[in-house]
């Protein structure tokens, strides 16, 4: 089922609804890109109502779900014997909460994610990191990029496939825009995303998708992605 929501460079996009929810805005947008009923509800109010995305207008529904995501990514979670520590909402979205959200509904079913630190890399290292993103980020499998000053990460953006070869698109929730970004500003630490320049951390697809059936996952089995086209249905969580 195709989603009614798309993002492209140069066209308006949703803006984060508070100064603390850039990460939550990115994750809400990521879910809208793969979950057609969810996107339809947020955009038009049509279809089955989504708990946590209440409101009479598009902006109200987006803001409501943004707050829902922020609570979820920052709360204490105990799942499958793993502890996910809480994080003050005043400090934005923690990477571990963002990763869990990406793997549970904000990307194609079965997409797995990993962290990659960027702040310590030299320009050559960042060029290589950018090339990895170009290779791994495809439709339905975005990445989250944390940017900031030279001393602290301050803002979260969503990395989307660009031309499929050498360029990525980056959704900036602070300005509600999508930018075409090549490896030059990425390597130089001159991103210019809501006033923040330095790449700090990326949460990126691993490039492998866990094999699943409709009934249950086949634990422990992973296959490399052989094509750039999505091969799994979007997760419909209701």
Question: How far is 57 from 80, CA to CA, in rounded Å?
Answer: 37
Judge whether 232 lies within some domain: no
Judge whether 7 lies within some domain: no
Judge whether 100 lies within some domain: yes
Judge whether 71 lies within some domain: yes
| pTM over the 0.85 mark | no
By 3-state DSSP, what share of the chain in percent is helix, strand and coil, each rounded to 5? 30, 25, 45
Domain extent at residue 74: 22-224
pLDDT of residue 191 exceeding 70: yes
Judge whether 11 lies within some domain: no
Split into its structural domains, the chain has a count of: 1
* Per-residue confidence (pLDDT) for residue 77, from 0 to 100: 72
Identify the CATH number of the domain in which residue 54 sits: 3.90.70
- Token digits for 205? 């697809």
Q: What is the pLDDT of residues 75-92, one digit of tens each?
A: 867 666 566 666 666 677
Helices (H) and strands (E) in the chain, counts: 6, 9
3-state secondary structure 149-166: CCCCEEEEEEEEECCCCC
Judge whether 3 lies within some domain: no
Judge whether 8 lies within some domain: no
Q: What is the pLDDT of residues 91-107, one digit of tens each?
A: 779 999 999 999 999 99
Yes or no: say if 143 and 205 are a contact pair by the CB < 8 Å rule. yes
Judge whether 66 lies within some domain: yes
């Amino acid at each position: 089922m195709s989603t009614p929501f798309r993002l492209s460079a140069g066209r308006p996009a949703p803006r984060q609804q508070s100064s603390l929810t850039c990460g939550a805005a990115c994750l809400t947008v990521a879910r809208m890109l793969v979950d057609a009923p969810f996107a339809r509800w947020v955009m038009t109010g049509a279809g089955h109502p989504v708990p946590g995305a209440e409101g009479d207008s598009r902006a109200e529904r987006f803001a409501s779900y943004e707050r829902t995501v922020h609570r979820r990514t920052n709360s204490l979670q105990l799942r499958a014997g793993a502890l996910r520590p809480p994080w003050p909402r005043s400090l934005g979205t923690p990477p571990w909460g963002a990763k869990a959200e990406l793997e549970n509904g904000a990307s194609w079913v079965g997409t797995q994610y990993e962290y990659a630190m960027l702040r310590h890399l030299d320009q050559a290292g960042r060029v290589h990191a950018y090339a990895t993103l170009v290779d791994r980020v495809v439709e339905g499998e975005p990445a989250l990029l944390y940017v900031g000053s030279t001393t602290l990460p301050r803002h979260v953006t969503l990395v989307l496939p660009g031309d499929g070869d050498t360029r990525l698109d980056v959704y900036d929730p602070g300005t509600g825009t999508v930018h075409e970004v090549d490896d030059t500003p990425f390597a130089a630490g001159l991103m210019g995303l809501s006033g923040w320049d330095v790449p700090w951390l990326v949460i990126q697809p691993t490039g492998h998708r866990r094999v699943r059936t409709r009934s249950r996952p086949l634990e422990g089995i992973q296959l490399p992605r052989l094509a750039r086209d999505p091969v799994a249905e979007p997760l419909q969580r209701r």
